[in-house]
Amino acid sequence: ELKVEQNPLFLSMQEGKNYTIYCNYSTTSDRLYWYRQDPGKSLESLFVLLSNGAVKQEGRLMASLDTKARLSTLHITAAVHDLSATYFCAVDIGAGNMLTFGGGTRLMVKP
Amino acid sequence: EPEVTQTPSHQVTQMGQEVILRCVPISNHLYFYWYRQILGQKVEFLVSFYNNEISEKSEIFDDQFSVERPDGSNFTLKIRSTKLEDSAMYFCASSEFGGLAGPDTDTQYFGPGTRLTVL
């Protein structure tokens, strides 16, 4: 059974600081996604990572993938309040595009 | 920008009643999905659907659940006899392709969700 674990589950940080969210998964994956969810809202696709060493950046967020370690990271640079949300990683092991989600990291950025 | 829509946004029902949750996927998408998120927990896959058939389903998707594409635009999830533990946010998602074409076209786009409350 595929397990996807994120840590930390909750992160409170000051504006301007850097931090990293980790996503570990237990089996070989075809691709890994990062989604953002604002309170009471839907999930917004941020990144999809395919291959070992893949790195993608959008604004203050950068995602990377190490398939050998079965680890993805989402790095936040110089956080701003607008980044406050819950971030989920999700793994696709190639079975009908079925996504297995991590537990989510709730990020709060304080002014 | 095209988006997935879902109705209703909130559904309250009595235990044992049938509910139908409705979704309109993005128009050129071929693959459709239902996920659920119990309050405070992770998002869980229920079922994927392609070409009028279920492609994959999870253990959660038992005989009380069914999906249907009744016309060219809607995609529905029916729960025949609701239980208290069915209370959750239900998300519909769609993708252009289903995991073999490439990351951009396989990415799943999620609707805003229907909050189901079973009393």
Residue A102 touches chain B, beta carbons under 8 Å: yes
| Among A63, A45, A41, residue whose Cα is nearest residue A54 | A63
Q: How many CA atoms lie within 13 A of A92 on its CB side?
A: 23
The DSSP secondary structure of B52-111, one letter per residue, reads TEEEEE-TT--TTEEEE--SSS-EEEEESS--GGG-EEEEEEEESS-SSS-HHHH--EE-
pLDDT at B19: 98
Nearest CA in chain A to B10: A40
Closest partner residue to A96 among B42, B98, B111, by Cβ? B98
Asked if A98 lies within 8 A of B44 by C-beta distance, the reply is: no
pLDDT at A93: 74
Chain B contact set for A88 (CB, 8 A): 42-43
| pLDDT 10s digits, B83-103 | 999 999 999 999 987 655 565
| A36's tokens | 């953002």
Q: For residue B85, report the phi and psi dihedrals to the nearest 5 degrees.
A: -75, 0
| pLDDT 10s digits, A56-96 | 999 999 999 998 999 999 999 999 999 999 999 999 876 66
Chain A contact set for B110 (CB, 8 A): 35, 42-44
Closest partner residue to A45 among B35, B91, B109, by Cβ? B109
Nearest CA in chain A to B40: A103
Chain B contact set for A43 (CB, 8 A): 43, 91, 110
pLDDT at A42: 87
What's the length of chain B?
119
DSSP 3-state of A102 = coil
Residues B89, A40: Cα–Cα separation, whole Å:
9
pLDDT at B110: 94
Q: Is the pLDDT of residue B82 over 80?
A: yes
CA dihedral B74, B79, B80, B86 (to 10 degrees): -170
Asked if B42 lies within 8 A of A96 by C-beta distance, the reply is: no
Asked if B107 lies within 8 A of A92 by C-beta distance, the reply is: no
| Among A99, A105, A63, residue whose Cα is nearest residue B107 | A99
| pLDDT 10s digits, B12-62 | 999 999 999 999 999 989 999 999 999 888 899 999 999 899 999 999 999
